[in-house]
């Protein structure tokens, strides 16, 4: 569950947020300095304000994002979300209440403090001081105006020359630093300046000219760039000279200084009074920004702290859910701070580790058991013997596929049923059920019994081994049956016994036959010419009879020998249709009605053609001799079939004869079983043996329209398969 | 004023209707660009200052107002980062002196100092810029066209600090003239 990239991101987020808060604090500190009239920070006020507002917006967005996540988790009922909400609410409330209280009283205090700067009495005093200054200056202005008028009056000669001569004295007398005389049209008549280099008078302003033209004197207090103040007077001569005198007087230094200070103080006070609401707003804004920073900083801190506290609990809750869903390898990262939560997480991890180990052991055992089970199933499935397990009440618990094959019932059909129900499903199994039940009831641990079942296609001999099976000590014992279908084995044993009998019989009989035949022929050669006609006739018939019967006995003995003789196969690729055609050609055009239909053109089998010819002759001969009194028709046909995943060629030999006796049809391939008067009973037995030696099978059946049908199935030769070695040719599939 | 008969390269006058001068704000009422005898390009500018009630109230309460006139000459179609051919900022402070009852105009660049009995007279003086030498013609490329741009505005940053936030967000304090632009070929 530990995710290094997630932890790294969390650390980066924490660092970025802390940096943002620190920068905002620094910005607010500098803003506070600017508000307190710090010249260095004055120009930075608005950029700082913009930065602070943007920073706060980022902080608000961060808090909003955290809040949205918290609400989303709460709605989803995510692990730890409820505890997280409670902690956030608690932390936020704890921090917001005191901050809000401090903000409220600070704002009150600030407003009252600023209002305290301005007082009615101070206002009045400032106004009075300014009025006093104005009065003082007005008095000074009036004095200078009067002085200027006196100077004008003192001018007796108004000629330009006289004025030019007199004006210097007037300036010195009056103490002005500039005196100029104009006529009413504004022409300069005379000038005297303290600085002799100044040759032009100070130009009167439009306002001054307008006032003079209106016939009014002008007097004004003019502040200079240097901070010094001067009184500028333009006085009109009431006399006939129509002169206008401009005089500029310096205001005494002490009066100028005092009035300037009064003016500066008044200006400053008035500006502050005007800016009172703006100052309150600025301080309030700064304080509000501090409050917001504290508010959202504390809220974000509440989110962070609650997350830190809840994270291990949340991780444990999630891990518990995963364990409940079966994932035992889950681990919770241990918090860095080694407190009780870390101990809890560590204990939880130990618990999950042990659960995981136990589950792994159980899983290993289960896998081992499953492997053993599969192994057992495979072994039982591969067995040709049927294995059946029954419980104490006789219910079939398990049965391998061979059981189904031997008992000819689906295994799935048998499992879970009582053994006795098998007899109801197939009456042929009644003997099996009775014998097994009898064996199980016997008070022995194990037993062996041979069971013969009588089925429609003949007898089936089963060799059954029973063993007691007890899995639990406190449970009743069940049984395990192992049985084999030994029908073919019994049949083979019988065939072998018959073969041995035939071989010995042929040997014992054949030995005296030749001397008998030679003796009969000698009697015939020696005594027949000498005897009378009547006697010789008797001898002739008697010796002929002996010779013929000896020949017949020889033929019969040879057949016995053939049946008993070990096989000598010489297999090679044979085209069955061609071989059958060749044999049938021998019967064509004769008295026999034999026809052949080719249905497997080109089909090649691995066979000994001589032995196969013998099979064909035996079958055709057998069919032709099926009725002695009526001519029999015989049909042969071949066809290709797909059976058990392999290509076979079927050869059918049919006739319209009498057919097989239904009671003997199961034993027609057994030696010395025949329905014919002259037959030895070995023909079909030899056919079956040869077919078996070729890996094929043969069956006999009656045609529905009358007559018999023999069907031989031979495996097709695999493409590209080399011819079989002679030594292996004798091996074949048992029919 | 240089003799415009011999060497005038460009003479432009922009006179706007007097009726529009009634709305509050700043306005370039007349701009004249001339080539003087000394082969310099000169500008004569007349700006009308019409103060809003809030600004007038602040002025009458002793708050000094700083007006900036920005004169700029650039190559026509110049990129943003290209240097100006010429650039001037004329900063004038208007304030009211309660003791004398006069209005004082001070040019922060030249330290020129004038007092006026009325605010209107002070504004008229402040808005009159005569013979401002922009650049010598020889410094310009005669194949290029150049853009002369003038701006005039109340400098909010020069206001007392407590007034600034309000001035930034209040339309009453947004005093600036529509920029004046003209393209010339020397």
**Residue B6 scores a pLDDT above 50:** no
* A432, A554: one domain: no
Closest CA to A618 of A640, A642, A602, A636: A636
**Residue B14 scores a pLDDT above 50:** no
Segment A654-686, tens digit of pLDDT: 998 888 888 788 778 877 777 766 666 778 888
Cβ within 8 Å, pair A49-B165: yes
B93 in reach of chain A (CB within 8 A): no
**Residue A499 scores a pLDDT above 70:** yes
Ramachandran angles phi, psi of A503, nearest 5° = -60, -45
% of chain A at pLDDT higher than 70: 93
Looking at residue A36, what is its pLDDT?
A: 66
Quote the minimal CA–CA distance from A39 to chain B in Å. 10
Residues of chain A positioned with their CB less than 8 A from the CB of B99: 130, 133-134, 137, 221, 259, 262-263, 266
Closest CA to A563 of A470, A501, A473: A501
Cβ within 8 Å, pair B160-A43: no
Segment A30-58, tens digit of pLDDT: 877 776 665 666 777 788 888 888 988 98
Give A547 or A441, the one with higher predicted confidence: A547
B166 in reach of chain A (CB within 8 A): yes
Residue A700 lies in a domain: yes
**Residue B20 scores a pLDDT above 60:** no
Looking at residue B151, what is its pLDDT?
A: 94
* A19, A75: one domain: yes
Stretch A199-204: mean pLDDT: 86
Taking the CA atoms of residue A60, residue A65, residue A68 and residue A73 in that order, the dihedral angle to the nearest 10 degrees is -140
Residues of chain B positioned with their CB less than 8 A from the CB of A37: 161
Quote the minimal CA–CA distance from A293 to chain B in Å. 19
Residue of chain B nearest A225, judged by CA positions: B113
Helix or strand (DSSP H, E) at B90:
strand B86-97
Instruction: Choose the closest CB to A275 out of B102, B117, B160.
Output: B160
Segment A507-560, tens digit of pLDDT: 788 888 888 889 888 988 888 888 888 788 888 888 888 888 888 788 777 777
Instruction: Give the distance, in angstroms, between the CA of residue A85 and the centroid of all CA atoms in the same chain.
Output: 34
Domain of A402, CATH number, reads: 3.30.450.20
Three-state SS at A437:
helix
B19 in reach of chain A (CB within 8 A): no
**Residue A727 scores a pLDDT above 70:** no
Cβ within 8 Å, pair A46-B160: no
* A467, A510: one domain: no
At A240, is the pLDDT very low, low, confident or very high (cuts 50, 70, 90)? Answer: low
* A55, A158: one domain: no
* A712, A608: one domain: yes
Segment B21-39, tens digit of pLDDT: 346 789 999 999 998 889 9
Cβ within 8 Å, pair B165-A282: yes
Residues of chain A positioned with their CB less than 8 A from the CB of B120: none
At A719, is the pLDDT very low, low, confident or very high (cuts 50, 70, 90)? Answer: low
HSE-CB at A274 with a 13 A cutoff on CA atoms is 21
**Residue A136 scores a pLDDT above 50:** yes
Looking at residue A471, what is its pLDDT?
A: 67
Indicate the pairing of strand B86-97 with strand B113-116.
unpaired
B23 in reach of chain A (CB within 8 A): no
Residue A361 lies in a domain: no
Instruction: Choose the closest CB to B162 out of A206, A220, A282.
Output: A282
HSE-CB at A20 with a 13 A cutoff on CA atoms is 24
* A632, A706: one domain: yes
Write down which residue in A428, A453, A485 finishes a domain: A485
Stretch A75-90: mean pLDDT: 84
The angle at the Cα of B51, spanning B50 to B54, to the nearest 5 degrees, equals 160
Instruction: Choose the closest CB to B161 out of A42, A224, A268.
Output: A42
* A83, A168: one domain: no
Write down which residue in A438, A459, A485 finishes a domain: A485
Give the pTM: 0.51
Quote the minimal CA–CA distance from B165 to chain A in Å. 7
Looking at residue B66, what is its pLDDT?
A: 95
**Residue B146 scores a pLDDT above 90:** yes
Residue A441 lies in a domain: yes
Looking at residue B88, what is its pLDDT?
A: 92
Give A562 or B165, the one with higher predicted confidence: B165
* A77, A158: one domain: no
**Residue A443 scores a pLDDT above 60:** yes
Instruction: Choose the closest CB to A271 out of B61, B100, B118.
Output: B61
Cβ within 8 Å, pair A268-B163: no
Closest CA to B151 of B14, B23, B26, B12: B26
Helix or strand (DSSP H, E) at A687:
helix A683-693
**Residue found under tokens 């403090």:** A113
Among the residue ranges A122-136, A532-546, B2-16, B42-56, the one predicted with the least confidence is B2-16
Instruction: Choose the closest CB to B62 out of A46, A271, A278.
Output: A271
Domain count, chain A: 5
Longest CA pairwise span in chain B (Å): 57
Segment A281-321, tens digit of pLDDT: 888 888 888 888 888 888 888 888 888 888 888 888 888 88
Residue of chain A nearest B115, judged by CA positions: A222
Question: What is the distance between the alpha carbons of residues A440 and A419, in angstroms, rounded to a whole number?
Answer: 11
Cβ within 8 Å, pair A223-B97: yes
Quote the minimal CA–CA distance from A57 to chain B in Å. 18
Write down which residue in A563, A595, A618 finishes a domain: A563
Looking at residue B13, what is its pLDDT?
A: 41
Cβ within 8 Å, pair A263-B99: yes
Cβ within 8 Å, pair A266-B157: no
Residues of chain A positioned with their CB less than 8 A from the CB of B164: 45-46
Q: A461: buried, middle or exposed (CB in 10 Å: 19+, 13-18, 0-12)?
A: middle
Looking at residue A721, what is its pLDDT?
A: 52
CB count, 10 Å around CB of B74?
Answer: 18
Question: What is the distance between the alpha carbons of residues B55 and B33, in angstroms, rounded to a whole number?
Answer: 31
Question: What is the distance between the alpha carbons of residues A154 and A557, in angstroms, rounded to a whole number?
Answer: 198
Q: A252: buried, middle or exposed (CB in 10 Å: 19+, 13-18, 0-12)?
A: exposed
* A574, A711: one domain: yes
B157 in reach of chain A (CB within 8 A): yes
CB A353 within 8 A of CB A359: no
Cβ within 8 Å, pair A225-B104: no
Cβ within 8 Å, pair B165-A46: yes
Among the residue ranges A416-420, A460-464, B98-102, the one predicted with the least confidence is B98-102
Residues of chain B positioned with their CB less than 8 A from the CB of A222: 100, 102, 115
Residues of chain A positioned with their CB less than 8 A from the CB of B168: 46
Question: What is the distance between the alpha carbons of residues A218 and A325, in angstroms, rounded to a whole number?
Answer: 104
Give B13 or A493, the one with higher predicted confidence: A493
Instruction: Choose the closest CB to B161 out of A34, A133, A224.
Output: A34
B170 in reach of chain A (CB within 8 A): no
Token reading at A662: 């239904």
Segment B90-111, tens digit of pLDDT: 999 999 988 778 899 999 988 8
Among the residue ranges A157-166, A410-419, A514-523, the one predicted with the least confidence is A157-166
Quote the minimal CA–CA distance from B61 to chain A in Å. 6
DSSP string for A146-202:
HHHHHHHHT----SHHHHHHHHHHHHHHHT-SEEEEE-TT--EEEEEESSTT--SPP
Residue A408 lies in a domain: yes
Stretch A393-418: mean pLDDT: 86
Cβ within 8 Å, pair A222-B97: no
Stretch A89-93: mean pLDDT: 85
Cβ within 8 Å, pair A267-B98: yes
Residues of chain B positioned with their CB less than 8 A from the CB of A267: 62, 97-98
Domain that holds residue A506: 492-563
* A720, A647: one domain: yes
Instruction: Choose the closest CB to B162 out of A133, A262, A275.
Output: A275
**Among B54, B56, B62, B117, the residue to mutate for chain A (most A Cβ within 10 A):** B62
Residue A432 contacts by C-beta under 8 Å, 6 or more apart in sequence? A407, A422, A423, A451, A453, A462, A464
At A712, is the pLDDT very low, low, confident or very high (cuts 50, 70, 90)? Answer: very high
Those residues of chain A whose CB sits closer than 8 Å to some CB in chain B are 34-35, 37, 42-43, 45-46, 49, 130, 133-134, 137, 205-207, 220-225, 259, 262-263, 266-268, 270-271, 273-275, 278-279, 281-282, 285
Residue A584 lies in a domain: yes
Quote the minimal CA–CA distance from A226 to chain B in Å. 10
- What ranges do the domains of chain B cover? 4-184
Residue of chain B nearest A261, judged by CA positions: B99
Looking at residue A37, what is its pLDDT?
A: 64
Residue A414 lies in a domain: yes
B17 in reach of chain A (CB within 8 A): no
At B1, is the pLDDT very low, low, confident or very high (cuts 50, 70, 90)? Answer: very low
Beta bridge partners of A88: none
Residue A345 lies in a domain: no
Looking at residue A567, what is its pLDDT?
A: 63
**Among A205, A267, A279, the residue to mutate for chain B (most B Cβ within 10 A):** A267
B53 in reach of chain A (CB within 8 A): no
């Amino acid at each position: 569950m530990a995710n290094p990239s997630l932890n790294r991101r969390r650390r980066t987020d924490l660092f970025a947020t802390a940096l943002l808060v620190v920068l905002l604090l620094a910005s607010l500190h500098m803003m506070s300095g600017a508000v307190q009239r710090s010249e260095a920070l004055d120009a930075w006020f608005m950029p700082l304000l913009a930065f602070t507002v943007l920073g706060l917006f980022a902080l608000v967005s961060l808090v909003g994002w955290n809040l949205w996540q918290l609400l989303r988790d709460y709605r989803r009922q995510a692990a730890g979300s409820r505890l997280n909400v409670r902690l956030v609410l608690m932390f936020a409330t704890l921090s917001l209440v005191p901050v809000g209280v401090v903000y409220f009283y600070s704002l009150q205090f600030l407003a009252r403090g600023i209002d305290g700067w301005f007082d009615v009495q101070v206002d009045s005093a400032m106004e009075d001081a300014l009025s006093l200054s104005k009065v003082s200056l007005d008095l000074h202005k009036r004095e200078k105006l009067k002085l200027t008028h006196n100077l004008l009056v003192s001018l007796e000669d108004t000629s330009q020359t006289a004025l030019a001569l007199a004006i210097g004295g007037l300036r010195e007398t009056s103490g002005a630093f500039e005196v100029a005389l104009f006529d009413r049209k504004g022409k300069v008549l005379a000038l005297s300046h303290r600085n002799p280099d100044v040759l032009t008078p100070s130009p009167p302003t439009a306002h001054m000219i307008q006032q003079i033209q209106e016939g009014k004197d002008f007097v004004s207090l003019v502040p200079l760039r240097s901070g010094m103040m001067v009184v500028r007077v333009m006085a009109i001569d009431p006399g006939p000279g129509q002169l206008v005198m401009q005089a500029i007087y310096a205001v005494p230094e002490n009066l100028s200084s005092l009035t300037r200070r009064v003016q500066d103080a008044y200006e400053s006070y008035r500006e502050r009074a005007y800016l009172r609401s703006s100052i309150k707003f600025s301080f309030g804004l700064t304080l509000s920004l501090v409050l917001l920073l504290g508010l959202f900083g504390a809220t974000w801190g509440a989110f962070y702290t609650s997350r830190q506290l809840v994270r291990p609990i949340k991780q444990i809750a999630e891990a518990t859910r995963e364990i409940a869903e079966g994932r035992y390898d889950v681990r919770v990262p241990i918090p860095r701070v080694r407190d009780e939560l870390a101990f809890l997480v560590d204990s939880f991890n130990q618990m999950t580790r042990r659960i995981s180990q136990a589950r792994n052991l159980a899983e290993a055992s289960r896998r081992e058991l499953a492997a053993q089970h599969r192994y057992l199933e495979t072994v039982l499935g591969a067995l040709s013997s049927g294995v059946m397990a029954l419980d104490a009440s006789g219910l079939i618990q398990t049965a391998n596929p061979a059981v189904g094959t031997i008992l000819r019932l689906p295994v799935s059909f048998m499992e879970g049923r009582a053994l006795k129900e098998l007899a109801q499903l197939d009456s042929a199994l009644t003997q099996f059920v009775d014998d097994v039940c009898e064996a199980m009831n016997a008070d022995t641990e194990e037993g062996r019994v041979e069971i013969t079942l009588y089925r429609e296609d003949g007898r089936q001999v089963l060799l059954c081994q029973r063993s007691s099976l007890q899995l639990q000590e406190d449970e009743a014992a069940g049984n395990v049956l192992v049985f084999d279908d030994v029908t073919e084995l019994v049949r083979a044993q019988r065939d072998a016994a018959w073969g041995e009998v035939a071989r010995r019989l042929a040997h014992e009989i054949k030995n005296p036959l030749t001397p008998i035949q030679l003796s009969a022929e000698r009697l015939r050669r020696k005594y027949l010419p000498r005897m009378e006609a009547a006697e010789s006739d008797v001898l002739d018939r008697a010796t002929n009879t002996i010779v013929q019967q000896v020949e017949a006995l020889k033929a019969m003995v040879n057949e016995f020998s053939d049946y008993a003789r070990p096989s000598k196969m010489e297999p090679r690729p044979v085209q069955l249709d061609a071989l059958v055609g060749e044999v049938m050609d021998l019967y064509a055009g004769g008295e026999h009605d034999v026809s052949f239909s080719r249905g497997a053109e080109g089909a090649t089998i691995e066979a000994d053609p001589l032995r196969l010819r013998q099979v064909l002759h035996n079958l055709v001969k057998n069919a032709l001799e099926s009725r002695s009194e009526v001519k029999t028709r015989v049909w042969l046909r071949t066809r290709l079939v797909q059976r058990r995943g392999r290509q076979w060629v079927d050869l059918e030999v049919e006739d319209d004869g009498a057919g097989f006796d239904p009671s003997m049809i199961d034993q027609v391939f057994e030696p010395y079983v025949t329905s014919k008067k002259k037959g030895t009973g070995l023909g079909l037995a030899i056919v079956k043996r040869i077919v078996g030696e070729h890996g094929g099978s043969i069956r006999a059946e009656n045609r529905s329209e009358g007559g018999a049908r023999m069907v031989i199935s031979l495996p097709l030769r695999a493409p590209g398969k080399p011819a079989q070695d002679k030594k292996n040719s004798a091996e074949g599939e048992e029919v | 004023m240089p003799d415009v008969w011999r060497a005038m390269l460009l003479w432009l006058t922009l006179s706007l209707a007097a009726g529009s001068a009634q709305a509050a704000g700043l306005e370039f009422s007349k701009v004249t660009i001339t080539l003087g005898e000394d082969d310099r390009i000169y500008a004569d500018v007349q700006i009308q200052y019409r103060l809003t009630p809030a600004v007038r109230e602040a002025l009458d309460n002793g708050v000094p107002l700083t007006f900036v006139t920005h004169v700029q000459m650039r190559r026509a179609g110049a990129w943003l980062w290209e240097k100006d051919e010429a650039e001037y900022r004329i900063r004038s402070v208007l304030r009211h002196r309660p003791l004398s009852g006069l209005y004082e105009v001070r040019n922060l660049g030249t330290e020129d100092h004038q007092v006026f009995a009325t605010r209107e007279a002070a504004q008229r003086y402040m808005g009159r810029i005569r013979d401002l030498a922009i650049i010598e013609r020889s410094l310009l490329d005669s194949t290029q066209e150049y853009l002369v741009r003038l701006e005039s505005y109340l400098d909010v940053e020069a206001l007392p600090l407590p007034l600034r936030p309000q001035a930034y967000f209040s339309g009453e304090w947004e005093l600036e003239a529509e920029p004046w632009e003209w393209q010339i070929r020397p």
